[in-house]
Amino acid sequence: MQGDYRYEMIILPTDYGDIKVYIYGFEPFCKWGHVIAQYKQNVASSKGCNRKQTIIRTMTMLHHSIVKEG
């Protein structure tokens, strides 16, 4: 990765802590991006071309890892 390292950060508050979602890329039309979701020790990440679908996929992966743990 070269150039600016800009990202978006979304914080989703819950009763037991915060879910942090980091979003890299997706700037021009159909440019690849990277999404990382973190909740306590659980981390999920994925890459994709569609911003919304990639965020949903990452959150689903994070949900599955939390359910599997508990």
Please state the pTM of the whole predicted model. Answer: 0.83
Dump pLDDT digits (tens) for 14-70. 999 999 999 988 877 778 899 999 999 999 999 999 889 999 999 999 999 999 876
Both structure tokens of 12: 């989703």
Q: Is the dihedral of CA 39, 44, 46, 50 positive or negative?
A: negative
Q: In this structure, are residues 37 and 20 in contact, taking their beta carbons and an 8 Å threshold?
A: yes
Q: In this structure, are residues 35 and 55 in contact, taking their beta carbons and an 8 Å threshold?
A: yes
Q: How far apart are CA 40 and CA 59, in angstroms?
A: 14
Q: What is the pLDDT of residue 3?
A: 58
